Amino acid sequence: MITLITNIKELLQVRETSITKVSGAEMAVLPTIKNAFLILEYGLITDFGEMSALPKIKADKIIDATGRIVLPSWCDSHTHIVYAGNREQEFVDRINGFSYEEIANRGGGILNSAKKLNETTEEEIYNQSKIRLEEVMHLGTGAVEIKSGYGLTIEGELKMLRVIKKLAETYPITIKSTFLGAHAFPLHYKENKAGYIEEIITQMLPQIAQNKLADYVDIFCETGYFSVEETEKIMEAGIQHGLVPKIHVNQFNSIGGIQAGVKFKALSVDHLEIMNPEDIEALKDTETMPVALPSCSYFLSIPYTPAREMIKAGLPLALATDFNPGSTPSGNMNFVVATACIKMKMTPEEAINAATINGAYAMGLSESHGSITKGKKANLILTKPISSYYQIPYAFGSNLIESVFIDGKILV
C-alpha cells in the first residue's frame, strides 16, 4: 500500500540524516518544508520534498493536505497508563487543602492505586487501560512508554507488565515497558524497607527478566520513597538483568537522584521540577535525557522544570505526559506541548523537538521514530487547516488533529 500526501502546507521536523536527539541552542531549530509531498510505503516514510519535485508514482491512495500541516506523531516517553480505577476523591481532597504528600502519608496516593490494582482482575485492568491507550493514539501519540508500579507485590507487578505486553501485541503503536516495582514501599514493608528491596532484587527482577517483560527499570527516588542509596542498588540489579535505568527524580526535592542516574548511565531522568545548579551541571555532556512532565506540574500546582536554564546550559530536554491516576490523569501530548510553551517558556520549535525526536531518544527509539526521515515509521499527525504550527501550542484547548497515521494507516 502506497500513500501519497500532497500539497502539505508545511511538513515539520524533516531530518535528512537521522539524528538521535537535539540539545541546547539546536532545540530552537525545527527544519520544515513548505508546500510539500510525503510518500508512505508499507508503513514507512519513503520519500518527501517540495511539491515541485514530486516524482511520478502510482499511489494506492492520494490525500490532498491543502492548508494542513504534517508532523511526526508525539513520542510520550513517560506514562503509567496501566492502572485500576481512579483517584478522583484525592483530587477533591487536594482542592479542599490537603497536599499530595499529606494524602500519600495517610495511605492514599500510590498505595491507594496499588490496593485497587491488586483487587482487580488482569482482564479488567486491560479493559480499563486500553481505553486510555486508544485515547492517546487519537490525540497523536505514536510511541509510548508504560510503567508498572501499582502492583508492589510480585503478582501485581507481573500482572501489570503482562497487561503492557498484551497492549503492545494488540495495538499498532510502539510500546516500551518499564518495571517500577520501586514506586513506593508497601504498607507491610513500612518498617522493613530493606526487605522490600530484597524482594525486588531477588524475586521480581529475575522473573521479569526471564519472561522478557520489561525494557527499563525505574525507581521513584524521592524523600519518603527511595533514597539515593536504595535507588543505586536497584539500578545496579536492574542493569545486571539487562534493564536500562530510566528514573523518577527531583519531583519534590533535589537529593542527588540525577547524579545517581548519570552514574548508572540512565537513559532518562524524569520530573525535574526542583533543580539546583549542580543538577544541571551533572547532566552536561552525558547521554542521559532530562524529561519534563508539565501536565504533572499543572495538575499538582508544583513548580515547572526550569527548561530555559537547562537549554541555556546546552542540555537536551524531552517532554512527556506522566499519564497516571494520581498526579496527571491526562495523556494529552498536545496539552503538554502547549503547557511547555505557556508555562516553561519553551518556543514552539523547542517544544515540538522535545515531544518528538527527544521523546523518541528517551525510549531508545530515535532510529525509527520522532522525525520525518526516510526509513522511519510512518507515524504522523495531519492537522486540520491551520494558519501555522504556532497554533498547536497557541490554541491550547482545541483539538487541531484531523487524522493520525500509525504504520502508514489512518486511525479510525
Contact residues: ligand NIG, CB under 6 A: 109-110, 113, 220, 248, 251, 296, 322, 324-327
273: contact with Fe ion by CB under 5 A = no
220 binds, among ligand NIG, Fe ion, none (CB under 5 to 8 A by kind): ligand NIG
Q: Which residue has the cell 495511605?
A: 107
Contacts of 101 (CB under 8 A, 6+ apart): 224, 252
**Residue 110 binds which entry of Fe ion, ligand NIG, none, with Cβ cut-offs from 5 to 8 Å by kind?**
ligand NIG
For 141-158, b where at least 16 C-beta lie within 10 A, e where not — what string?
Answer: bbbbbbbbbbbbbeebbb
Q: Which amino acid is at 6?
A: T
322 touching Fe ion, by CB under 5 A: yes
The residues with which 8 forms a beta bridge, in sequence order, are: 36
Q: What's the gap between Cα 91 and its chain centre?
A: 23
C-alpha span between 173 and 196 (Å, rounded): 34
**Residue 73 contact partner, candidates ligand NIG, Fe ion, none, CB within 5 to 8 A by sort of partner:** none
The Cα–Cα gap between 1 and 57 comes to 12
The nearer residue to Fe ion, 322 or 349, going by C-beta atoms, is 322
Query: Minimum distance from CB of 300 to ligand NIG (Å)?
Result: 8
Q: Is the CB of 61 or the CB of 193 nearer to ligand NIG?
A: 193
Stretch that binds Fe ion, among 89-97, 234-242, 258-266, 316-324 (CB under 5 A): 316-324
Residue 251 binds which entry of Fe ion, ligand NIG, none, CB below 5-8 Å type-dependent? ligand NIG
Q: Which cell goes with 154?
A: 510480585
Q: How far is the CB of 182 from ligand NIG (least distance, A)?
A: 11
Number of residues this chain uses to bind Fe ion (CB under 5 A): 1
- Minimum distance, C-beta of residue 44 to ligand NIG, in the bound complex (Å): 33
Q: Which of 151, 139, 90 is nearest to 300 (CA)?
A: 90
Could you please report the per-residue DSSP string of 50-116? EGGG------SEEEE-TT-EEEEPEEE-------SS--HHHHHHHHTT--HHHHHHTT-THHHHHHH
Decide: is 222 part of the binding site for Fe ion (CB under 5 A).
Answer: no
Query: Interacting stretch for Fe ion, rule CB under 5 A, among 195-203, 319-327, 358-366, 371-379?
Result: 319-327
Query: CB of residue 78 vs Fe ion: minimum separation in angstroms?
Result: 6
Task: Give the nearer residue to ligand NIG in terms of CB position, either 297 or 373.
Answer: 297
Reading the block at residue 60, the C-alpha cell is 494506492
CB nearer ligand NIG, residue 324 or residue 358: 324
Is the CB of residue 127 less than 8 Å from the CB of residue 60? no
Supply the minimum distance, in Å, between the C-beta of residue 147 and Fe ion.
Answer: 7
User: Backbone phi, then psi, for 302, in 5-degree steps?
Assistant: -115, 170
Smallest distance, ligand NIG to C-beta of residue 74, A: 18
CB-wise, 104 or 352, nearer to ligand NIG? Answer: 104
CB of residue 328 to Fe ion, shortest distance in Å: 8
Separation between Cα atoms, residue 369 and residue 375, nearest integer Å: 10
Report whether 74 contacts 362 (CB < 8 A).
no
Q: Which residues form the interface with Fe ion (CB under 5 A)? A: 322
